[in-house]
Amino acid sequence: MEEKIIIHEVGLRDGLQIEKEIVPFEKKLSWAEKLIESGIDIVQLGSFVNPVKVPQMADTDKLFKYFNENPDKKKNVILSGLVLNEKGLERGIDCGVDLFCMGVSASETHSQKNTGMSRRDALERIVAMGKKALSLNKQVQVSVQSAFGCGYEGNVPESVVYDFVKTFVDNGFKMISLADTAGHADPFKVERMFTHLSTLGKDLEFACHFHNTYGLGLTNCYAALKSGVKYFESAFGGLGGCPFTKLSGGNVSTDDLVHLLQRMSKRKDVLLEKIIELSKEAEEFFKREMESKIYKTGSIPS
């Protein structure tokens, strides 16, 4: 039996963190409910960061509490949250995060700009945080950011990425993501790296997170799919981008990703029209065209 592809929608976090216009709580709640209704598997509600530095994420705790206090609204979705430090982890535990996402950059420059720490110190910190979350029976996904290249440094040695992933595996982590923070990935590198990592253990589950900075996002998703990757992170409308990279590009669009999968006879259970509707709402709210293609054209008739 073919393994199910899991869609991890990160628009409410990665999609919004770079936006200057604050999305009100009620609007975020409406958008989250639409994503849940669409049949998406995992919805990332936000990140537990300093609300002064990232005011867009100031209501993350409130969003999680709402859904945990209203389980009928949550349905079967997994709610994930990004944590960067111990304080964020404590906040996430208190408000009921299902899946903790945490990562370290393979780029020294990006690590310093993103966390103020060296990549080795950040790795040590993330391992300790992840193990604490696992000890509380929480799901944990650890990631290597700038895994395919860095906007500041250019090439990132694959050996560094492999070393970090091995450290994660050696410390008991099973769900591991490679994030293309700068959008430097290409399908050949994607296939090569994930194929290599698959040799580290049969019980590992890999995720991918691509940015469409140079237009290769969906192509890289296809390469990851061919390489056995199970989890795909994307954002409605193609929103997003890392504020701590040199040239920021949006995420792979969930609309476009779902359309691709459905053209391949996968994930036909996901209600694509719900995601298209949401992307149109985002266009209206931000008063600009979204990066997604499918929300403009509609899907190809079957």
Q: What would the mean pLDDT of 13-26 be, rounded to a whole number?
A: 94
Residue pLDDT, tens place only, 210-223: 999 899 999 999 99
> What pLDDT score was predicted for residue 246?
47
Return the CATH number at 111: 3.20.20.70
pTM over 0.85: yes
Is residue 242 annotated as part of the catalytic site, yes or no?
A: yes
Cβ neighbours of residue 294 closer than 8 Å, sequence gap 6 or more: 253, 255, 256, 258, 259, 272, 276
Q: What would the mean pLDDT of 270-295 be, rounded to a whole number?
A: 96
Q: Quick one: how many helices (H) and strands (E) in the chain? A: 12, 8
**C-alpha span between 269 and 158 (Å, rounded):** 36
Residue 302 lies in a domain: no
Containing structural domain, residue 235:
6-297
Count of domains for the chain: 1
Is pLDDT above 90 for 48? Answer: yes
Comparing CA positions, the residue from 153, 202, 196 lying closest to residue 178 is 196
Is pLDDT above 90 for 110? Answer: no
Q: What would the mean pLDDT of 272-283 be, rounded to a whole number?
A: 97
Between these two residues, 114 and 268, which has the higher pLDDT value?
268
Residue 236 lies in a domain: yes
Is pLDDT above 80 for 248? Answer: no
Is pLDDT above 90 for 277? Answer: yes
Between these two residues, 152 and 40, which has the higher pLDDT value?
40
Residue 258 lies in a domain: yes
The model's confidence at residue 175, banded by pLDDT at 50, 70 and 90, is: very high
Query: In the block, which residue shows the tokens 């994660």?
Result: 168
Residue pLDDT, tens place only, 187-208: 999 999 999 999 999 999 999 9
Helices within 154-216 (DSSP H only): 158-170, 187-197
Q: Which of 101, 150, 208, 242 is catalytic?
A: 242
122: tokens are 């950040």
Residue 1 lies in a domain: no
H or E element in which residue 57 lies:
none
H or E element in which residue 94 lies:
helix 86-95
Is pLDDT above 90 for 117? Answer: no
Task: Output the CA–CA distances (angstroms, integers) from residue 128 to 44, 174, 238, 247, in the order listed.
Answer: 22, 15, 33, 31
Residue pLDDT, tens place only, 54-73: 999 999 999 999 999 999 99
User: For residue 154, what is the DSSP state?
Assistant: B
